[in-house]
Amino acid sequence: MASKVRNVILCLSCLLLFVGPSSSLLETLVQGQEVKDGDELVSAQGNFKLGFFTLESNNYYLGIWYNDNRQRQDNLVWVANRDSPIFNNSGSLTIDDNGNLKISHGGGLPIVLYSGQGGSNTSAVLLDTGNFVLRELNNSEELWQSFDYPSHILVPGMKLGVNRKTGHTWSLTSWRGVVVPDLGVFTFGMDSNHTNQLVILWHDNIYWTSGSLERGHFTSSFSGISDSYYNFSYISNENETFFNYSVETSFTKSPRLVIDYLGRLSDDRGILVDCISRFSGSSKVERCMPAQLPECRSPDDVFYSHFTFMYNDGFKFSESENLTVMDCEAKCLNNCSCVAYASTIEDAQTGVRFGLAHRQDLMDL
């Protein structure tokens, strides 16, 4: 009888092993394995996860995020295919026989993340820094890493700067809309004029400057919010020039700096830089570059959000659907007949339709 009980227990144990969680591949992807929708790599200490995700659409992306329960767009740190979304859940991350790292899917050609000097003994590991690294195991050579291709978020260990040997730059680029990861119009990175400061660019024009770095902090103080918790470093040598940063562990367990689709720089505690009022021509925000407006605009002209109907068809042009909400505001301000604008894709905050009128008609709107 005891033997039968023991056999039942052994069989149940075997069954549990076979039907246990199949979505976890630990932290390493090797040749012959795949990460598909529902699968996740988890870093050794459980800090980060890598897998496919979707936002408020049917588009799928490969990304890395903090291993917590926040909504995906609130804990993301990296997006692999932001300009090449997959239109269903057929995505599969693999390392092929030649050591190439790629995303295969049912909608067309693979999205190649790395194609080069790999071989038959190549693997990729998700580190506890949030970095995803492709390595040749025979000589431990690092072939590719996600930290070299940041999206819109900076975490400790990432760089903002330039590799002097290759010319490769490290910078953040905003999303195009609230839930649209496509490349936006704002860039956060090191000033290319080597002024020892960080800048936010809007269409390659200076939008905000950090001021110089002094004892780990910038003179702009990031609007005075949370700056004391950040410690920035500036490193320059014959190989590279860059900024990076660290954060006091008591401040947050999931540090990240985000450049959003409106050009605002924020962390998990709040907004650090907000230059939106610059378009009124009278921005008082420290280090924001005021916009150059036509004579028909007063420095006191501002836009207010208002939910209403546009009583005519408005005006659109060929590029309207690709504009961000900030592009819309700037174009409207620079057109003396424009009195209002609206996003044509409301949830994403992209696309635009302009309302045109004579200034004497404003009171009728």
Comparing 164 with 298, which gets the higher pLDDT? 164
Q: With the C-alpha atoms ordered 254, 255, 259, 262, is the resulting torsion angle positive or negative?
A: positive
Whether residue 199 sits in one domain with residue 93: no
Measured CA to CA, the distance from residue 180 to residue 74 in angstroms comes to 14
Average confidence (pLDDT) over 106-131: 91
- The encoded tokens of residue 294 equal 């036509």
Measured CA to CA, the distance from residue 153 to residue 256 in angstroms comes to 6
DSSP readout, 132-146?
A: EEEEETTTTEEEEEG
Q: DSSP assignment, residue 315?
A: B
Measured CA to CA, the distance from residue 170 to residue 175 in angstroms comes to 16
Each residue of 259-297: pLDDT tens digit?
Answer: 999 999 999 888 888 887 655 544 555 678 777 778 887
In this prediction, residue 352 carries a pLDDT of 54
Q: How many domains does the chain have?
A: 3
Average confidence (pLDDT) over 54-80: 93
Average confidence (pLDDT) over 305-329: 60
In a domain, 362, yes or no: yes
In a domain, 8, yes or no: no
Which residues does 118 contact at the CB level (< 8 Å), separation at least 6?
95, 98, 99, 100, 101, 134, 136, 143
Average confidence (pLDDT) over 313-336: 68
Contact 73, 88 (CB under 8 A): no
Whether residue 277 sits in one domain with residue 205: yes
Measured CA to CA, the distance from residue 244 to residue 161 in angstroms comes to 9
Contact 329, 349 (CB under 8 A): no
Whether residue 97 sits in one domain with residue 218: no
Average confidence (pLDDT) over 18-33: 71
Average confidence (pLDDT) over 125-152: 94
Whether residue 361 sits in one domain with residue 258: no
Contact 219, 143 (CB under 8 A): no
B/e letters for 138-166, b = 16+ CB within 10 Å, e = fewer, are: eeeeebbebbbebbbbbbeebbbbbeeee
Q: Which helix (H) or strand (E) holds 76?
A: strand 76-79
Whether residue 136 sits in one domain with residue 172: no
In this prediction, residue 310 carries a pLDDT of 52
* Strands 76-79 and 28-30, sheet pairing: unpaired
Please identify, among 292, 307, 324, the residue that sits at the C-terminal boundary of a domain: 292
In a domain, 11, yes or no: no
What residue numbers bound the domain in which 34 lies? 24-146
Whether residue 327 sits in one domain with residue 224: no
pTM exceeds 0.75: yes
Whether residue 363 sits in one domain with residue 334: yes
Please identify, among 94, 127, 146, the residue that sits at the C-terminal boundary of a domain: 146
Whether residue 275 sits in one domain with residue 183: yes
User: Predicted confidence band at 22 (pLDDT cuts at 50, 70, 90)?
Assistant: very low
In a domain, 13, yes or no: no
CATH for 274: 2.90.10
User: Predicted confidence band at 41 (pLDDT cuts at 50, 70, 90)?
Assistant: very high
CATH for 104: 2.90.10.10
Please determine, for residue 64, whether its predicted confidence score (pLDDT) is greater than 60: yes
In a domain, 3, yes or no: no
B/e letters for 287-296, b = 16+ CB within 10 Å, e = fewer, are: bbbbbebeee
